[in-house]
Amino acid sequence: GAVVSQHPSRVICKSGTSVKIECRSLDFQATTMFWYRQFPKQSLMLMATSNEGSKATYEQGVEKDKFLINHASLTLSTLTVTSAHPEDSSFYICSASKAGITDTQYFGPGTRLTVL
């Protein structure tokens, strides 16, 4: 298999607080992890690409100081939404690709963030 988990599955927070979302590859080593954002009834938009042990590469228009990504190990990447605001409310999805097999991404179940 190739299972990717995300935690939490759902989080509600107050405006101004920070929220951390974890993405784990459970049964394989993920050299690269990706973070996506999905608005209701819209497509997945790539936010950043994260390689283990190096800084994440952010897509144009994504604030790196707002969305902090850490990929400290081959099985874990975290996305921290800092000073969250209601407009950050969205569905965040991570994916991971196996070492040496870069053309397939395995997706997590997503995290629903609601900022009040």
Segments of 9-110 assigned E as strands: 10-13, 19-25, 30-38, 44-51, 57-58, 67-73, 76-81, 90-98, 101-107
Q: How far is the CB of 27 from another protein (least distance, A)?
A: 15
75 vs 95, beta carbon nearer another protein = 95
Min dist. Cβ of residue 38 to another protein (A): 9
Distance, CA of 62 to CA of 107 (rounded, Å): 20
Closest distance of CB 79 from another protein, Å: 17
The residue ranges that bind another protein (CB under 8 A) are 4, 32, 34, 42-46, 49, 93, 95, 97, 102-105, 107-110
